[in-house]
Amino acid sequence: MADETTQTAPVAGANETATQENEKKMYVYYFSDPDATDQKLRFHEIYTDVEFDELPWHVHTEKPDESLKDPVWDINTNGWIENSKDGQAQILAEAQAKIIEIDKSKEQFDQTVKTLQVGQQAGTAQSLALTKSIKALTDGQANQNKVLQSMQALMLQMASQKQATPAQPSTETTDTKQENGGN
């Protein structure tokens, strides 16, 4: 007969047993909702330490192929496929993204218009004040010109009157004699 050798495994210490009990096995499941508009809902991984006896809706144990960029679970083939660009969910997701982008652009446009309107109102107020100031200056200049013209006319009138009347000798006599004989 052949010799049978018995091998005994080393007995685990108390620390090793406690560590093994604390370490729980992690289970990975894959969620897929092919009709979701958000890519995160079309596919994402679920990590849990609970093993599912029965899988919930849209949850699968099979991992999708790494070559798939946007994997979704196909009910017809019962496997992972690439999300088609013709799919309704993809079209809807792109349309929603464009609507959000248009809404943001509209908000930015509205804000720009409001800013311009405020600036235009301020500019209009400044323009009105400037126009009033210029009118006041123009009116003042016109008044000043009238005063200068009347002064000029008065001066011309005075000058013409002086020339029309010759200078008359004075009738007052002045004595140049000195009373004490001089010196």
Paired tokens of 92:
């809807």
* Long-range contacts at 98-104 (CB < 8 A, ≥ 24 apart): none
Nearest to 28 by CA among 4, 60, 58, 53: 60
Number of folded domains that form the chain: 2
**Domain identity same for 91 and 115:** yes
Residues 33 and 78 grouped into a single domain:
yes
User: 46 in helix, strand or coil?
Assistant: strand
pLDDT value, residue 4 = 41
- For residues 97 and 120, membership in a common domain is answered with yes
d(CA 161, CA 97): 94
**Does some domain include residue 128?**
yes
One-letter amino acid of 174? T
What pLDDT score does 154 carry? 84
Cα separation, 59 vs 33, whole angstroms: 9
| Host domain of residue 136 | 85-150
Q: What is the pLDDT of residue 22?
A: 60
Burial of 83 (0-12, 13-18, 19+ CB in 10 A): buried
Give the amino acid at 175. Answer: D
Alpha carbons 78 and 72: distance in angstroms, whole number: 11
* Sole residue written with tokens 């200068």: 148
Taking only the tens place, the pLDDT of each residue in 55-107 is 777 888 888 888 878 888 777 788 878 877 555 666 677 778 888 999 998 89
Chain segment 156-165, per-residue pLDDT in tens: 888 788 776 6
Q: Would 163 be classed as within a structural domain?
A: no
Q: How many helices (H) and strands (E) does the chain have?
A: 3, 5
Determine, yes or no, domain membership for 5: no
- 41 and 69 within one domain: yes
User: What pLDDT sits at residue 25?
Assistant: 85
Domain membership of residue 33 (yes or no) is: yes
Average pLDDT of every residue of the chain? 76
Does 24 map to a domain?
Answer: yes
